[in-house]
């Protein structure tokens, strides 16, 4: 099930006794959980009908006991189990027994980041309850989600501004939400957001800095690369987001090279990438500067670093600086 399906069920008053909210898009998971909580506890005594637990910190029997308890002066009760992807095999077995006959007056909501869809527990949960996956949207879906985020702030946003945000930030809804929050504070409620409003809050500064960083890497200019990296870090960007921005730009360069290699023209490259006008000139320059071998080595270096970021405690800022040294040595 996707979040949209969950929202439709909630609106229609359809509830499952068990939910598992998982995936890598935290903002959507938070939205799904907020909607579920509001709907499940509506019209009742919330303080007496809501229990929160964390997997690994509580005996699973206590979670099941809470889920089996009748609501107090309400139709339903809510039992929340966070970090559900950390459940042990023995815990899952106990929950499987509960899934055989779950309480119809309880919504047991489990929240985690990952899910093994091959496991018996996940298959049973999907059959008896609802497993809702929260993945980052595809690029073609971004305008819809950006408009939704703007609407939550009582703002409208033009199609052009939607595409601008998606081009610069990608499909990271959390980062886009942050930019919309900034423009909301800048413009006030009820306004229609245009590209000029986004430029006024310096979204374009980050984009320009990323392009300048890629320019410097293309010229093997270590000094300029490090300076532009520092600008991004000083502006508050997370190292993980900076890495994804660099990777996205290199991917766009590869798309451009492929089009030109097939005999396509620069106009086709512009249409395919849908980049904002102010970056097209530098982009076309980057397409011609990087060789395919350099792009492949850059990809390998970035993927290696991405794995380290996600799997081990490293000094991310220092690791990015070392990446600049490595990338500026490409082709040397």
Confidence of residue 52 (pLDDT cuts 50, 70, 90): very high
pLDDT of the residue at 108: 94
Q: What pLDDT was estimated at residue 303?
A: 84
Contact 169, 176 (CB under 8 A): yes
Kindly indicate the confidence band of residue 332, based on its pLDDT and cuts at 50, 70 and 90: very low
Least confidently predicted of 32-41, 44-53, 288-297? 288-297
Confidence tier at 182 by pLDDT (50, 70, 90): confident
* Confidence tier at 56 by pLDDT (50, 70, 90): confident
Say which residue, 200 or 55, is predicted with more confidence: 55
CA atoms lying within 13 Å on the CB side of residue 145: 25
Report the C-alpha gap between 93 and 87 in whole angstroms: 10
Cβ-based burial of 255 (10 A; exposed 0-12, middle 13-18, buried ≥19): middle
pLDDT at 47 over 90: no
User: Rounded CA gap, 239 and 229, in Å?
Assistant: 9
| Banded pLDDT at 277 (limits 50, 70, 90) | low
Name which of 43-52, 54-63, 144-153, 162-171 the model is least confident about.
162-171
- Rounded Cα gap, residues 32 and 144, in angstroms: 17
Given a cut of 50, is residue 188 above it in pLDDT? Answer: yes
Q: What is the mean pLDDT of residues 265-287?
A: 73
CATH topology for 203-328? Zinc Finger, Delta Prime; domain 3 (1.20.272)
**Per-residue pLDDT band at 62 (split at 50, 70, 90):** very high
pLDDT attached to residue 331:
42
Per-residue pLDDT band for 201 (boundaries 50, 70, 90) equals low
**Which tokens is 308 given?**
């380290």
Higher pLDDT, 157 or 203: 157
Over the stretch 64-123, which tens digit does the pLDDT of each residue have? 999 999 988 888 999 999 998 888 888 989 999 999 889 999 999 999 988 888 888 888
Higher pLDDT, 81 or 174: 81
The pLDDT value recorded for residue 242 is 81
What SS3 class is residue 332?
coil
Q: Is the pLDDT of residue 126 over 90?
A: no
pLDDT at residue number 207: 62
Does residue 219 carry a pLDDT above 50?
yes
At residue 311, the pLDDT reads 76
Per-residue pLDDT at 235 exceeds 70: yes
User: Does this model's pTM top 0.75?
Assistant: no
Provide the 3-class DSSP secondary structure of residue 220.
coil
Alpha-carbon span 312 to 233, nearest angstrom: 20
The percent of residues above 70 in pLDDT, for the chain, comes to 93
Residue 205 has pLDDT above 60, yes or no: no
Domain ranges for the chain, please list them.
3-133, 139-200, 203-328
Tens digit of each residue's pLDDT (9 = 90 or more) over 293-317: 888 888 888 888 888 887 778 888 8
d(CA 229, CA 325): 12
Superfamily of domain 3-133: P-loop containing nucleotide triphosphate hydrolases (3.40.50.300)
Strand, coil or helix: 187: helix
Measured distance between the N- and C-terminal CA atoms of the chain, rounded to whole angstroms: 49
Q: Which option is the CATH number for 139-200: 3.40.50.300, 1.10.357.10, 1.10.3720.10, 1.10.8.60?
A: 1.10.8.60
Q: How far apart are CA 106 and CA 118, in angstroms?
A: 26
pLDDT of residue 172: 78
């Amino acid at each position: 099930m996707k979040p949209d399906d969950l929202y439709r069920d909630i609106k229609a008053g359809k509830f499952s006794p068990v939910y598992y909210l998982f995936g890598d898009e935290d903002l959507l998971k938070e939205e799904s959980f907020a909607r579920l909580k509001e709907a499940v506890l509506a019209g009742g005594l919330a303080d007496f009908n809501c229990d929160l637990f964390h997997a690994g910190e509580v005996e699973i029997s206590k979670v099941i006991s809470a889920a089996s308890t009748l609501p107090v002066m309400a139709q339903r009760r809510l039992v929340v189990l966070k970090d559900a992807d950390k459940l042990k095999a023995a815990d899952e077995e106990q929950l499987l027994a509960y899934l055989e006959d779950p309480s119809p007056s309880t919504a047991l909501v489990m929240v985690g980041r990952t899910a093994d869809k091959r496991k018996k527990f996940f298959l049973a949960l999907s059959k008896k309850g609802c497993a809702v996956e929260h993945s980052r949207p595809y690029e073609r879906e971004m305008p819809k989600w950006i408009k939704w985020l703007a609407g939550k702030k009582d703002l409208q946003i033009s199609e052009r501004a939607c595409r601008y945000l998606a081009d610069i930030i990608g499909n990271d809804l959390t980062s886009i939400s942050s930019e919309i929050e900034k423009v909301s504070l800048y413009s006030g409620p009820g306004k229609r957001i245009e590209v000029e409003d986004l430029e006024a809050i310096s979204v374009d500064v980050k984009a320009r800095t990323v392009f300048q960083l890629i320019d410097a890497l293309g010229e093997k200019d270590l000094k300029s690369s490090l300076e532009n990296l520092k600008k991004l870090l000083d502006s508050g960007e997370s190292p993980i987001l900076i890495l994804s921005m660099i990777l996205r730009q290199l991917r766009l360069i590869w798309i451009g090279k492929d089009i030109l290699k097939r005999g396509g023209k620069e106009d086709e490259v512009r249409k395919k990438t849908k980049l904002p006008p102010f970056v097209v000139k530098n982009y076309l320059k980057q397409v011609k500067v990087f060789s395919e071998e350099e792009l492949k080595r850059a990809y390998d270096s970035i993927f290696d670093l991405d794995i380290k970021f996600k799997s081990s405690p490293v000094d991310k800022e220092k690791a990015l600086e070392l990446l600049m040294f490595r990338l500026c040595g490409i082709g040397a």
